[in-house]
Amino acid sequence: MALILHAQKGNKNAYKTLIAAEYSGIKVELAPDFQMGVSNKSPQFINMNPIGKVPVLETPDGPVFESNAMARYVARLGESNLFGSSPIDQAHVEQWIDFSSMEIDDNIMKLYRPRRGFSPYLAPVEEAAISSLKRAFEALNTHLAHNTYLVGHSVTLADIIAACNLYLGFAQLLVKSFTSEFPHVERYFWTLVNQPNFRKIFGQVKQTEAMPPIPSAKNPTQPKESKPTSKDAPKKVAKSEPEKPKVVEAEEEAPKPKPKNPLDLLPPSKMVLDDWKRLYSNTKTNFREVAIKGFWDMYDPEGYSLWFCDYKYNDENTVSFVTLNKVGGFLQRMDLARKYAFGKMLIIGSEPPFKVKGLWLFRGQEIPKFIMDECYDMELYEWTKVDISDEAQKERVSQMIEDFEPFEGEALLDAKCFK
Ligand SMILES: N[C@@H](CCC(=O)N[C@@H](CS)C(=O)NCC(=O)O)C(=O)O
C-alpha cells in the first residue's frame, strides 16, 4: 500500500520524502486535490498535524508530520543504506541533517520569507541571516573539499535533506556571485541534483539569476500560501512526472521561447565534429597514425578553437576518488555542450595532490558564452587558447588526446573523454 503525501507541488520539504522513497523503493503518492490554505485547514488535516503545516505523510500506522521525520521514516522502511553502515556513520548522518536544517535551512528561510512577502522585511535581520549562511557554507565547503558526500562514499539521508534545503536557496535566492565563493558546495549541489533519483523529483534545476526584490509598500508580494488558485491543483503521482524544471513553492512561470544557439549561426565549418568523435572512438590501434593524424587533417582553425584548462585548486585534490568524481561531475554538466565540444581531462600524478588538466575543442573562436554561464565548473579552471602555430603546443594537444604517458613527466591516474 502506497504512503500518501499531503503537500502542494514544489514543496522542497516534501521532496525529502519523495527522494528518500526513490532510494528506498517505497511507493509514495501525492494526496489528490491538495490545495494549500484549504486542505491543510480541514479538520481531517488538523487531526494529522495539529499545527496545520505541510507536508504530512499518511502511513498505514498513522500520520507523520515534520519533513525530516517523514524522510527518516521512509528511509528506514526500505532496503537502502541511507543511514550509513555503522553507529558513527548514523551519528554523522544525524549531525548533517541537523546542520542543514538549523544552519542552512533556517537562514535560507529567513531570507526567503520576507523577500516573498510571507513575513515583514527587516534589513538587519536579512544581513544577519546572510552572514550566518556564509558561515555555514564555509564550514560545508571545507568538509566537501575532501568528501564527495556528507558521510561515507555514497548518498545518505543527510545529502537528500541538505540538497532539498540548498535547492530553495539555489533556485530562488543565491545568485552565482554568492555561491561561487564556495566551489565545493556548488560542485556538491550540482552533483546531487543531477543524480537520477534526485532529478526525477527536482526536474532540471536552474540557479536563480537574481534575488527577489525587497517588497515595498507600493509593491507588496502577495503571500501565496493564503491564496489558493486553480494552479495549486496537485499532480497525481510526483514520481512518474516527466522531467522539467520544477517550480519551487507553488509558483508558475510562463514558458519562454527557446532562442537559437548563436553557434548554430556561425558560417559552416569543413570540420564535422561527429566525424572526429567517431574516428576517436573507433581507433583502437595505431592511435597516433590514425586518430591524431586524422584530427589534424580535419581540424578547422576558423570554425573551431582549442583550449587548455588547468584546475585552479590542485592542492585540494588529496583524495583520488573525490578528484575523479569532481571531473566526472564536470563532464556530466557539460552535457549541454555535446553538439559543440570535445574534451579530454587528465588526472595526473601517482601521489596526491593530483593535478587536473584538460584540452577542449569548442565551436567558434571563443569559449561559448552559454557554457561559461551554465556550467559553473568552468570558473574552477584557468583557460588558455592553444596557439597551433607553436609546434610544442600542438604536440601537447596530441598527447592529451591520446592519453600519452608519462604526461609532462608524470603517470596518469585517469583520463576522461567528453564526446
Ligand atoms: N518544520 C516543518 C516546516 C513546515 C512548514 O513551515 N510548512 C509551511 C509550508 S513550506 C506551511 O505549511 N505553512 C503554512 C502555515 O504556516 O500555515 C517541516 O519541515 O515539515
User: What are the structural domain ranges in the chain?
Assistant: 1-221+233-256, 264-418
**According to the model, what pLDDT value does residue 219 have?**
61
With bands split at pLDDT 50, 70 and 90, how would you rate the model's confidence at 218?
low
Cα 381 to middle of ligand 1, angstroms: 41
Say what percent of the chain tops pLDDT 90: 81
Helix (H, G, I), strand (E, B) or coil at 81: coil
User: Which mutation among 6, 54, 104, 112 tests ligand 1's pocket best, with the greatest number of atoms within 8 A of CB?
Assistant: 54
Lowest mean pLDDT among 116-120, 139-143, 268-272: 116-120
Ramachandran quadrant class, 272 (left: phi over 0; alpha: psi -120 to 50; beta: rest):
beta
With bands split at pLDDT 50, 70 and 90, how would you rate the model's confidence at 244?
low
**According to the model, what pLDDT value does residue 367 have?**
96
Mean pLDDT of 302-325: 93
Mean pLDDT of 167-192: 95
Nearest to 100 by CA among 130, 65, 148, 140: 140
Amino acid of residue 347: I
With bands split at pLDDT 50, 70 and 90, how would you rate the model's confidence at 186?
very high
Atom 6 in ligand 1: residue holding the nearest Cα: 53
Structure-derived torsion over alpha carbons of residues 400, 405, 410, 415, reported in degrees to the nearest 10 = 50
Q: Alpha-carbon distance 54 to 39, whole Å?
A: 10
**According to the model, what pLDDT value does residue 152 have?**
94
Amino acid of residue 180: S
Q: Is the pLDDT of residue 254 over 80?
A: no
Q: CA dist 169 to 200, 210, 254, Å?
A: 19, 11, 21
With bands split at pLDDT 50, 70 and 90, how would you rate the model's confidence at 359?
very high
Chain centroid to CA 212: 21
Q: Is the pLDDT of residue 226 over 70?
A: no
Q: Is the pLDDT of residue 227 over 50?
A: no
Cα 54 to middle of ligand 1, angstroms: 5
The total of other beta-carbon atoms located within 10 Å of residue 149's CB is 19
Q: Alpha-carbon distance 39 to 51, whole Å?
A: 13
Cα 10 to middle of ligand 1, angstroms: 13
Element (H, E) at 400: helix 391-401
Cα 13 to middle of ligand 1, angstroms: 8
Cα 66 to middle of ligand 1, angstroms: 8
Which CATH number does 264-418 carry?
A: 3.30.70.1010
Nearest-atom number in ligand 1 for the CA of 101 is 19
Q: Which residue has the cell 565551436?
A: 363
Cα 144 to middle of ligand 1, angstroms: 29
Nearest-atom number in ligand 1 for the CA of 11 is 10
Atom 2 in ligand 1: residue holding the nearest Cα: 66
Pocket of ligand 1 (CB under 6 A): 11, 13, 52-55, 66-67, 225
Cα 221 to middle of ligand 1, angstroms: 19
**Model confidence, pTM:** 0.67
With bands split at pLDDT 50, 70 and 90, how would you rate the model's confidence at 131?
very high
Which CATH number does 1-221+233-256 carry?
A: 1.20.1050.10
